[in-house]
Structure 1
Amino acid sequence: MLEAIAADIRKGLVGKSFEGSMTFDCGADGVVVLDNGRVDTQAQPTDCTLRLSSDNLKKLLRGDLNPMTAVMMGKIKVSGDMSVALRLGKLIG
């Protein structure tokens, strides 16, 4: 399930750059790791972790979920380096 999301992120990164590393932690569904432009579904230490449901991850990546609103509503929990999380907005915006 998350492999398809990872593949979509890989496509979305073509021609873009992302510095730093981030984990999208979708609980029992697994993780998607973005690490200096590479995308994987194997857990590893990263600068920042976003905890959210896989449905909310899909909405976030489609632009159907505003990241700031989602954090305020508790749909996304951020831990680690907040500056890395803020770079995500430029990537998907």
Structure 2
Amino acid sequence: MKFNWTVFLTITLLLMMMGAGVFSAMWGFSLGREALKGVTQPEFRPGSNLSNRSENDSNTNHPRFLREEDILEEVEAQIQSHQPEVTPHSA
């Protein structure tokens, strides 16, 4: 039987690619593990304090809503203060 170089080179290339994949996976895992060594999870659960709060405490975290009319008045005032007066040109 004659030695087939095409099959030999194909198998060699596949084995080298698998070896490179295993090596890069192990290297990436070790780098990630080393990078996250000092990182820990928080010591509390955000949802656990919701049932223990009083009604006054829960109201302090709500955002303050503004009226749309007030916002529009402030914006209009800012626009008017930054624009110079436009005077019609007389010919």
Structure having the higher Rg: 2
TM-score by length of 1: 0.16
TM-score by length of 2: 0.16
Going by fraction, where is helix more abundant, 1 or 2?
2
Question: Which structure is higher in RCO with an 8 Å CA cutoff and minimum separation 6?
Answer: 1
